[in-house]
Structure 1
């Protein structure tokens, strides 16, 4: 009796699955008969599911969890430096990492303090790993724009070695 009930259950389930698959065209059938519809895309680049943009991304510069704001992105070097790859004060800042001369910091957190951002970095370089907090501040405008980097665990300090923005090298920053 138990075997009979089990067989009936299996037959019922397979019949339900057959109906569903008959009523739903598979991808190859849709592609052949031209019924395939492209996924809609929203004006902000969303996938068409009706969800709005991710909070904080509307202006392209607002901080998001674990991302460095766009205004800090780029290649920076000491204001007296050459911006060359071998410059030991050069750094490349992107949304998710900061590349220093002989180390790399992957962003694990960010927090805003006024116009500054304090970035928590998982660092790796010269065979070692560590974590550090770095405060990034922008001072000045235009040709006089300077990046000040200081210890993120202490109150804001004046950077004795401010960095100028380097011209793009064609490599993504």
Structure 2
């Protein structure tokens, strides 16, 4: 019986001594460590109860020109007027658009965001500079999300022409 117990403990002894183990060391990703440090600093300054009620102050992201012209992430992606437009293999999808952070690509043209005029959770109005078929032009464009973000409505107003706005509805691909 003693020999059986000894044989069971032998593999444990081969793993190394207790000095090799550091049970208090935990690797934490850098962003999580920064967040925990911010929480600890807020608790040290304001107390635990006050921090729990008010939350931890978050540093504002510095403004820059590219971020100011960026379309919100919920608007980005592929959109199509018809289900056929959403077939990426369909190279003749004239109703498909691809909305990126600072541009919109159409079938025969592309537009770059010049300025964000207004922005809210489900709507953004931008001034776009278009290029296509050897020409350039500008339009003020209102984009809005409907049906829980599955539909995009684009309303374009030609700049300085007095023409009526044109509205196009898309479905998320």
* Count of matched residue pairs: 109
> Larger Cα Rg: Structure 1 or Structure 2?
2
Give the alignment of 1:9-28 within 5 angstroms: none
Aligned partner of 2:134 in structure 1 is 127
Aligned partner of 1:118 in structure 2 is 125
Give the alignment of 1:1-173 within 5 angstroms: 43=31, 52-55=59-62, 64-83=67-86, 84-112=90-118, 114=120, 115-141=122-148, 145-152=150-157, 159=167, 161-166=168-173
Q: Which moved more, 1:88-97 or 1:104-113?
A: 104-113
- Describe the SS at the equivalent of 2:68: coil
Unaligned ranges ≥5, structure 1: 1-41, 45-51, 57-62, 167-173
Unaligned ranges ≥5, structure 2: 1-29, 33-58
Deviation sequence 1:84-141 (CA, Å, 0-9, x none): 3421111000111000110010111113254310111111001001111111011102
Superposition RMSD in Å: 3.2
* Greater helix proportion: 2
* 4+ residue segments displaced more than 4 Å: none
Normalized against structure 2, the TM-score is what?
0.53
- Describe the SS at the equivalent of 1:141: helix
Find the aligned partners of 1:102 and 1:124 in 2 and give their Cα distance: 9
- Cα deviation for residue 53 of structure 1 reads 4.7
Normalized against structure 1, the TM-score is what?
0.53
Find the aligned partners of 1:103 and 1:90 in 2 and give their Cα distance: 11
